[in-house]
Each structure stands twice: as structure tokens, then as C-alpha cells.
């Protein structure tokens, strides 16, 4: 005979089999989602590696341009106007920023815009793989490519032209990561504003020219006239250029430069999130 107290005790005691089944049911969708995201990343990596033009502009072009400039004899001479440094010393950080521009503003937006234009993102929204997985994969791939190109430019600058490695490596990495985040969010915003691949390419070309100028591709930021430099330093790549330059010289990047990059990243992320459409 079962007493009331024992019945209450039995009903309150969890069934191990039921608890295990519930945990398995809960973890199954999460595991499937993670597996699907990894599959998307692998697929996008294979497609990315099959694009020689994108690989050239991201990985080869910045270092090649820096190497060509480094072969100019006057660029290897120490200049008192630059604090005893050489022009090639200034162009290694420029090559680093150029790699980011090529990756985030030239290579990534047409890919995402093309996916949306062909309805791929809309079709993905009806499957267990959400479109955000594709966006995340593209950002991860282009970010990794930009950082790899930056490492290549620094290595070639050091080996071929004797350019000193950053005297403040932690500050340099921080500025590098912030500038990478900034350019990728700018690329996402560019995709959000472009309805077609052609529009993305056109807008991207105009933005590329502006960003390359502020990064110092034509005139290093340190060599710009004071008025122009004071304006450029409040742009994302002008601030990044100065932050990297300070880290190279052994100083911690200024709070102003880091703050400008953080504010640009936050603002552009907000706009891209509000304006981006999957279809």
C-alpha cells in the first residue's frame, strides 16, 4: 500500500531517462546548427580559394606595391623630415591597411550582394542554416585573409628592406584588430546599401579610392600637410595609420586613434544591422 507521502515523493523524483531524453532533444538542434555552420564555412573557404582575382588583390597586391616602392633608392634613404625614418618604413603599415581595404571593401561586398541578388540568402532562410551563417563565414574568411596579408607585408618589409618590427607589439595587434573590424563592418554596410552586384562594384570603387587616400597609399599620413592630416586622422584609416605608426615606434596607440576606430566600428555596425536585408 502506498502512503500519500510516498506518492508525493515518487512524483517529485525526476526520472533519469526523461531527463536524459530532454537534454538530448535540447542539445540536438544546437549540435545540428553548429555542424551546419561548419559546413557553410568549409564550402565558402573552397569557393574563396577558387577566386584568383580576390586572392591576388588581398594577398599579393599590397606587398607587391610596397616592394616596388621599396626598390626606389630615395625611399630607402633616411629623411630628417620624417624623424630620421625612411619612406619605406611608413609604407609597411600602409600596405597592411591596403590589404584590409582590398579584403573588406573590394572583395567581400560583391560576393554577399551577389548571393542576395541571386536569392541564395532568401532560400537559406527556409532551411536550418540561417543566412547569418553565410555572412559570418564571409566575414571570417576575409578578415583572416586581411590579417594574413598584413603578416606577409610585415615579413617582406623586414627581410627585404630592414623595416623594424613593431616596438609595441600588443598595441600594434590591438590597432590591427580594430582596423580589421572597422573595414569588415564598412564592407557589410556597403553590401547593405547596394541592391545589385554592379552597384556594389561602383560604390565600392569610389569608397576604395577615398579609404586608400586616408590610409596614406598616395601620401603617407605622416607626410600630409597639418590641416589635411588633422582631418584625415578622424577617418577610420587615418586613425588606424597613426595608431599603427605609434605602435611601430614603440609607443602605445593614442586613445584618440583607438577611440575613433571604436566609434566608427560601432556606428557602422549599427547602420549595417539596421539597413541590411537578406532579400
Nearest of 64, 108, 60 to residue 207 by alpha carbon: 108
Q: Do 145 and 111 contact (CB within 8 A), yes or no?
A: no
Residue-wise pLDDT for 222-269, tens only, equals 889 999 999 999 999 999 999 999 999 899 999 999 999 999 999 999
Which residues pair with residue 85 across a beta bridge?
79
Residue 22 has pLDDT above 60, yes or no: no
- Region 120-138: mean pLDDT is 75
pTM for the full model? 0.83
As a whole number, the mean pLDDT across the chain is 85
The answer to whether 191 and 207 are in contact (CB under 8 A) is no
pLDDT digits 0-9 by tens, 75-95: 999 988 888 889 999 999 999
Percent of the chain scoring above 70 in pLDDT: 85
CA torsion sign, 200 to 150 to 63 to 238? positive
208 pLDDT above the threshold of 60: yes
* Nearest by Cα to 149 from 231, 77, 70, 64: 64
> Which residues have C-beta within 8 Å of that of residue 125, sequence separation ≥ 6?
131, 278, 279
pLDDT band at 126; cut points 50, 70, 90: low
CB 244 within 8 A of CB 89: no
Mean pLDDT over residues 114-131, rounded?
A: 75
Of 51, 50, 96, nearest in space to 248 by CA: 96
**pLDDT of 10 above 70:** no
Q: Cα 29 to chain center, whole Å?
A: 29
User: Which of 200, 193, 184, 87 shows the shortest CA–CA distance to 144?
Assistant: 184
Residue 9 pLDDT > 50, yes or no? no
- CB-CB contact of 212 with 218 (8 Å): yes
Cα–Cα distance measured from residue 53 to residue 45, given in angstroms and rounded to the nearest whole number? 15
| Grid coordinates given for 31 | 549540435
Mean pLDDT of the 108-118 span: 87
Using CA atoms, how far apart are residues 181 and 174, in angstroms rounded to an integer?
11
pLDDT per position as a tens digit, 154-204: 999 999 999 999 999 999 999 999 999 999 999 999 988 888 888 888 888
Angle at 170 between CA 166 and CA 174, to 5 degrees: 105
Cell numbers representing residue 241 in the block: 595609420
C-alpha 55/C-alpha 141 separation (Å) is 11
Provide the pLDDT for residue 29.
57
Q: How far is CA 177 from the centre of its chain?
A: 8
Amino acid at each position: 500500500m502506498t502512503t500519500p507521502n510516498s506518492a508525493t515523493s515518487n512524483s517529485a523524483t525526476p526520472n533519469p531517462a526523461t531527463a536524459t531524453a530532454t537534454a538530448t532533444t535540447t542539445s540536438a538542434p544546437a549540435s545540428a546548427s553548429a555542424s551546419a555552420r561548419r559546413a557553410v564555412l568549409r564550402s565558402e573557404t573552397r569557393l574563396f580559394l577558387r577566386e584568383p582575382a580576390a586572392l591576388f588583390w588581398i594577398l599579393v597586391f599590397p606587398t607587391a606595391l610596397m616592394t616596388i616602392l621599396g626598390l626606389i633608392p630615395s625611399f630607402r634613404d633616411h629623411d630628417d623630415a620624417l624623424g630620421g625614418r625612411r619612406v619605406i618604413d611608413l609604407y609597411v603599415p600602409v600596405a597592411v591597411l591596403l590589404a584590409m581595404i582590398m579584403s573588406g571593401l573590394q572583395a567581400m561586398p560583391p560576393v554577399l550582394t551577389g548571393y542576395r541578388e541571386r536569392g541564395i540568402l532568401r532560400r537559406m532562410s527556409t532551411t536550418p542554416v540561417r543566412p547569418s551563417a553565410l555572412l559570418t563565414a564571409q566575414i571570417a574568411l576575409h578578415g583572416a585573409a586581411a590579417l594574413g596579408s598584413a603578416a606577409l607585408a610585415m615579413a617582406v618589409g623586414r627581410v627585404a628592406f630592414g623595416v623594424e618590427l613593431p616596438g609595441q607589439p600588443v598595441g600594434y595587434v590591438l590597432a590591427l584588430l580594430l582596423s580589421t573590424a572597422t573595414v569588415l563592418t564598412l564592407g557589410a554596410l556597403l553590401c547593405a546599401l547596394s541592391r545589385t552586384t554592379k552597384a556594389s562594384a561602383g560604390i565600392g570603387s569610389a569608397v576604395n579610392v577615398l579609404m586608400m587616400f586616408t590610409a596614406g597609399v598616395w601620401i603617407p599620413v605622416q607626410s600630409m600637410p597639418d590641416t589635411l592630416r588633422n582631418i584625415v586622422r578622424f577617418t577610420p584609416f587615418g586613425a588606424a595609420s597613426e595608431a599603427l605608426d605609434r605602435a611601430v615606434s614603440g609607443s602605445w596607440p593614442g586613445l584618440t586613434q583607438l577611440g575613433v576606430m571604436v566609434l566608427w566600428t560601432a556606428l557602422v555596425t549599427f547602420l549595417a544591422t539596421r539597413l541590411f536585408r537578406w532579400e
